[in-house]
C-alpha cells in the first residue's frame, strides 16, 4: 500500500512537472493531472482551514441599505459618488477585527478591495475614485492586511469585475444602475472595451503585487447567459487568469471568472444557501466554499432584522464541513468602521464553541460514505487522525445509537471536556426492539446535555 502510494505520488509529480514545463495553460491533454496534483498541494492550507471571514466594506455602508443600493435604486454615477466625499470611518481599527476573526476560529479573511460600485478601498494608480481621495485618506486595505497577518490569518482579496463607475463599462444590461437612462445607453457605442480590460488587469496586477503574498482571490462575477451579459470575453479572463497565477502562483481562486470549462478555478462558491450534498462539477466532488451572511445583505444594512441565531451559525459551520466544504462568514462594518454588536455576539458564540470543539472542524471533512449519520446528528471526520465526530444537534436521553459502528470504535469521549463515554449499554437497558444482526453501536451518555451549544462526541476508530 505504502509503496503504491509513494509511486503514485512520483507519477503525479512527474506528470505535473511535465505538464507545467510543456503544456500551454489551458491544454486539454494534461488538464486533469495539472488540476489535481497542483491544486491539492496549493489548496492544502485552505482545505484544512475550513472557516474564514468575509468582509464587505465600502461606500455602500453610508446609505446602509444593501451593497447593491446603487443598482437597486438606479442611481447615476454622480449621485452615488457623493458618498465618497463623506466616507470617514474614524473608528476603523482593523486590529480589533482581526482579533475578532481569530477568536472566532477563522483562519482566513476575504476583503472587498473593490465592489460593483467601482470604489477602490486601496490606493490604486488607475482611478481617482478611491479611498485615499476620500476624507479618511488612507489605504484601508493595506492596514487590514497588516492587522490580519499579524494574527496569522491568511489574506484574501475580493475584486469585482463588474464596475458601475467606470466610463467604459457597458450600461445596457439588466443590473447596471443606469440601465434605464437612454442617454447613458446611447454612449455605449463609444465605450472602449479594451480600455476597460486594461483597467481590470492593471488593478489586479497592483493587488497581486503591492501587498505581499495574497492567499485567495475572490473575483465577482460573470453572467454570460443573460441578455447583453458579461463573461470571459468581456473581462478577457484568460489574460487575467494568467497574470494572477504568474504574480501569485499559490493563490486559491474562486470560480467566477467564467473559466469553468478551461479549468481556470480552484473551488466552487455557492452563496446564501446550504448545498444538499458535497458540491460537484461534471459529476466529480470538487473543493467548495459557501459564503454566507448573518442577515441577508453583505454590506452594512441598518434596517435588516433577519439575523440568523448564534446556534444557526454554528450549525451552518458544522453542516458545511460535514459536506466537505468551507464556510466564509460575512460581516458588513458600518461607515464608522465598526462591526455591529449583532455580528460580534454571534462570533462570540462561535468562539465559545470553537474553543472546545475546533478539532471537529479543522482538517476535517465529510465522513466516509459507509458511515450512516445518526438521528439528529451531523458527522465530520478527520482522515489524518482517523477520528469521527458526532455533532449531536438534539441531545438524546441516556443512550445514543450509532448505526454501522459496532466493533469499529476503540475509544469514545465527549470532546469539550474529554470525558470518557463507555461503549455499549448496561444489560437489559436495550429492549429487544433491536434486531439480532444489528451492527449499530450504543453508547451511554450523561442525561444532562454537556454545557456547549452543540456537543460533539469524538470517536477513535479502529
Ligand atoms: C454576489 C453579489 C455581491 C456579493 C457576492 C458575495 O455576487 O453581487 O454583492 O459581494 O455575491 O459572494
Q: Does 394 lie in the same domain as 306?
A: no
Give the orientation angle of helix 341-357 with respect to helix 94-104, to 10 degrees: 40
Say if CB 34 and CB 23 are below 8 A apart: yes
Handedness of CA 279, 284, 285, 287 (dihedral sign): negative
| Residue length of the chain | 462
* pLDDT interval class at 440 (50, 70, 90): confident
Distance 441 CA to ligand 1 centre (A): 44
Q: How many domains does the chain have?
A: 2
Q: Residue 200: how many CB atoms within 10 A of its CB? A: 24
Q: In this structure, is residue 239 part of a structural domain? A: yes
Ligand 1 mutation pick, 221, 299, 327, max ligand atoms within 8 A of CB:
221
Q: Is the pLDDT of residue 430 over 70?
A: no
Q: In what helix (H) or strand (E) does residue 247 lie, and over which residues does it extend?
A: helix 237-247
The predicted pLDDT at position 38 comes to: 82
Q: Is the pLDDT of residue 300 over 70?
A: yes
Q: Does 399 lie in the same domain as 337?
A: no
272 vs 29, more confident: 272
Q: Does 306 lie in the same domain as 185?
A: yes
Residue whose grid cell is 512520483: 10
The predicted pLDDT at position 24 comes to: 39
Q: In this structure, is residue 26 part of a structural domain? A: no
Domain stop point among 360, 390, 414: 360
For residue 54, the ligand 1 atom closest to its alpha carbon is 6
**What is the CATH classification number for the domain harbouring 252?**
3.20.20.80
Residue 298 Cα to chain centre, angstroms: 13
Q: Does 401 lie in the same domain as 294?
A: no
Burial of 318 (0-12, 13-18, 19+ CB in 10 A): buried
* pLDDT interval class at 19 (50, 70, 90): very low
The Cβ-side half-sphere exposure at 215, using a 13 Å CA radius, reads 20
Mean pLDDT, residues 54-59 taken together = 99
Say if CB 129 and CB 197 are below 8 A apart: no
What percent of the chain shows pLDDT beyond 90? Answer: 87
Ligand 1 mutation pick, 298, 299, 301, 327, max ligand atoms within 8 A of CB:
298
Q: In this structure, is residue 344 part of a structural domain? A: yes
Distance 115 CA to ligand 1 centre (A): 9
Q: Does 216 lie in the same domain as 134?
A: yes
Distance 5 CA to ligand 1 centre (A): 41
- How high does pLDDT run on average in the chain? 92
Domain stop point among 360, 387, 418: 360
Residues with CB under 6 A from ligand 1: 56, 67-68, 220-221, 271, 291, 298
Q: Torsion over CA of 263, 268, 269 and 273, rounded to 10 degrees? A: 150
The predicted pLDDT at position 37 comes to: 81
Q: Does 343 lie in the same domain as 254?
A: yes
How many Å apart are CA 178 and CA 76, to the nearest integer?
Answer: 6
Q: Does 318 lie in the same domain as 269?
A: yes
Say if CB 274 and CB 319 are below 8 A apart: yes
Q: Nearest residue CA, atom 5 of ligand 1?
A: 220
The predicted pLDDT at position 419 comes to: 98
Among the listed ranges 23-37, 293-307, 436-450, which one has the minimum average pLDDT value? 23-37
Q: Does 176 lie in the same domain as 92?
A: yes
Q: Does 269 lie in the same domain as 124?
A: yes
pLDDT tens figures, 262-290: 999 999 999 999 999 999 999 999 999 99
Q: In this structure, is residue 237 part of a structural domain? A: yes
Q: In this structure, is residue 22 part of a structural domain? A: no
**What is the CATH classification number for the domain harbouring 410?**
2.60.40.1180
Q: How far apart are the first and last CA of the chain?
A: 18
Question: Which structural domain range is residue 429 located in?
Answer: 377-461
Residue 142 to residues 148, 250, 309, 361: CA-CA distances in angstroms? 10, 20, 32, 30
For residue 220, the ligand 1 atom closest to its alpha carbon is 7
pLDDT tens figures, 64-79: 999 999 999 999 999 9
Domain stop point among 303, 325, 360: 360
Q: Is the pLDDT of residue 54 over 80?
A: yes
pLDDT tens figures, 214-251: 999 999 999 999 999 999 999 999 999 999 999 999 99
pLDDT tens figures, 77-88: 999 999 999 999
Q: In what helix (H) or strand (E) does residue 159 lie, and over which residues does it extend?
A: strand 154-160
DSSP state of 424: B
Distance 384 CA to ligand 1 centre (A): 35
pLDDT tens figures, 328-343: 999 999 999 999 999 9
Distance 110 CA to ligand 1 centre (A): 12
The predicted pLDDT at position 164 comes to: 98
- DSSP, collapsed to helix, strand or coil, labels residue 277 as coil
Among the listed ranges 180-194, 404-418, 429-443, which one has the minimum average pLDDT value? 429-443
Contacts of 252 (CB under 8 A, 6+ apart): 42, 43, 46, 156, 215, 216, 217, 266, 267
What percent of the chain shows pLDDT beyond 70? Answer: 89
How many Å apart are CA 239 and CA 255, to the nearest integer?
Answer: 15
Residue 151 Cα to chain centre, angstroms: 19
Q: Nearest residue CA, atom 10 of ligand 1?
A: 298
Q: Does 402 lie in the same domain as 321?
A: no
Q: In this structure, is residue 371 part of a structural domain? A: no
The predicted pLDDT at position 2 comes to: 35
pLDDT tens figures, 88-140: 999 999 999 999 999 999 999 999 999 999 999 999 999 999 999 999 999 99
The predicted pLDDT at position 26 comes to: 46
Q: Which residues pair with 52 in a beta bridge?
A: 108, 328
The predicted pLDDT at position 303 comes to: 97
Among the listed ranges 2-6, 77-81, 165-169, 395-399, which one has the minimum average pLDDT value? 2-6
Q: In this structure, is residue 14 part of a structural domain? A: no
pLDDT tens figures, 397-412: 999 999 999 999 999 9
Residue 404 Cα to chain centre, angstroms: 33
How many Å apart are CA 64 and CA 68, to the nearest integer?
Answer: 10
Distance 111 CA to ligand 1 centre (A): 12
Q: In this structure, is residue 252 part of a structural domain? A: yes
* pLDDT interval class at 9 (50, 70, 90): very low
Q: Does 215 lie in the same domain as 355?
A: yes
Q: Does 234 lie in the same domain as 315?
A: yes
Closest by CA to 326, choosing from 381, 269, 256, is: 269
Ligand 1 mutation pick, 56, 220, 254, 296, max ligand atoms within 8 A of CB:
220
pTM, full prediction: 0.92
For residue 162, the ligand 1 atom closest to its alpha carbon is 8
Q: Is the pLDDT of residue 15 over 60?
A: no
Amino acid at each position: 500500500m505504502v509503496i503504491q502510494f509513494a509511486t503514485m505520488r512520483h507519477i503525479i509529480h512527474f506528470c505535473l512537472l511535465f505538464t507545467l514545463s510543456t503544456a500551454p495553460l489551458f491544454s486539454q491533454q494534461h488538464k486533469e493531472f495539472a488540476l489535481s496534483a497542483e491544486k491539492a498541494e496549493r489548496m492544502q492550507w485552505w482545505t484544512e482551514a475550513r472557516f474564514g471571514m468575509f468582509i464587505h466594506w465600502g461606500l455602500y455602508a453610508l446609505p446602509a441599505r444593501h451593497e447593491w443600493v446603487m443598482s437597486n435604486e438606479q442611481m447615476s454615477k454622480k449621485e452615488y459618488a457623493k458618498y465618497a466625499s463623506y466616507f470617514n470611518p474614524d473608528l476603523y481599527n482593523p486590529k480589533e477585527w482581526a482579533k475578532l476573526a481569530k477568536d472566532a476560529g477563522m483562519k482566513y479573511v476575504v476583503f472587498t478591495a473593490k465592489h460593483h460600485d467601482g470604489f477602490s478601498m486601496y490606493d490604486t494608480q488607475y482611478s481617482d475614485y478611491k479611498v485615499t481621495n476620500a476624507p479618511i485618506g488612507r489605504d484601508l486595505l493595506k492596514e487590514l492586511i497588516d492587522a490580519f497577518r499579524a494574527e496569522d490569518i491568511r489574506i484574501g482579496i475580493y475584486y469585482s469585475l463588474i464596475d458601475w463607475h467606470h466610463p467604459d463599462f457597458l450600461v445596457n444590461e439588466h443590473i447596471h444602475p443606469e440601465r434605464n437612462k437612454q442617454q447613458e445607453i446611447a454612449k455605449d457605442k463609444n465605450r472602449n472595451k479594451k480600455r476597460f480590460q486594461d483597467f481590470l488587469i492593471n488593478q489586479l496586477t497592483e493587488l497581486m503585487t503591492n501587498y505581499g503574498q495574497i492567499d485567495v482571490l475572490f473575483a465577482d462575477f460573470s453572467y454570460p447567459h443573460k441578455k447583453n451579459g458579461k463573461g470571459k470575453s468581456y473581462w478577457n479572463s484568460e489574460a487575467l487568469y494568467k497574470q494572477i497565477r504568474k504574480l501569485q502562483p499559490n493563490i486559491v481562486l474562486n470560480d467566477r471568472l467564467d473559466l469553468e470549462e478551461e479549468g481556470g478555478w480552484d473551488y466552487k462558491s455557492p452563496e446564501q444557501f446550504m448545498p444538499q450534498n458535497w458540491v460537484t462539477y461534471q459529476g466529480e466532488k470538487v473543493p467548495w466554499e459557501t459564503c454566507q451572511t448573518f442577515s441577508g445583505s453583505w454590506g452594512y444594512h441598518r434596517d435588516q432584522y433577519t439575523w440568523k441565531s448564534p446556534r444557526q451559525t454554528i450549525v451552518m459551520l458544522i453542516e458545511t464541513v460535514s459536506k466537505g466544504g468551507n464556510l466564509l462568514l460575512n460581516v458588513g462594518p458600518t461607515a464608522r468602521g465598526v462591526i455591529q454588536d449583532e455580528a460580534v455576539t454571534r462570533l462570540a458564540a462561535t468562539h465559545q464553541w470553537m474553543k472546545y470543539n475546533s478539532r471537529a472542524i479543522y482538517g476535517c471533512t465529510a465522513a466516509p460514505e459507509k458511515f450512516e449519520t445518526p438521528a439528529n446528528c451531523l458527522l465530520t471526520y478527520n482522515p489524518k487522525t482517523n477520528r469521527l465526530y458526532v455533532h449531536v444537534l438534539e441531545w438524546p436521553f441516556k443512550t445514543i445509537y450509532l448505526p454501522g459502528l459496532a466493533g469499529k470504535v476503540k475509544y469514545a469521549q465527549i470532546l469539550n471536556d474529554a470525558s470518557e463515554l463507555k461503549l455499549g449499554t448496561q444489560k437489559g437497558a436495550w429492549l429487544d426492539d433491536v434486531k439480532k444482526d444489528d451492527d449499530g453501536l450504543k453508547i451511554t451518555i450523561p442525561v444532562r446535555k454537556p454545557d456547549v451549544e452543540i456537543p460533539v462526541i469524538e470517536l477513535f476508530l479502529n
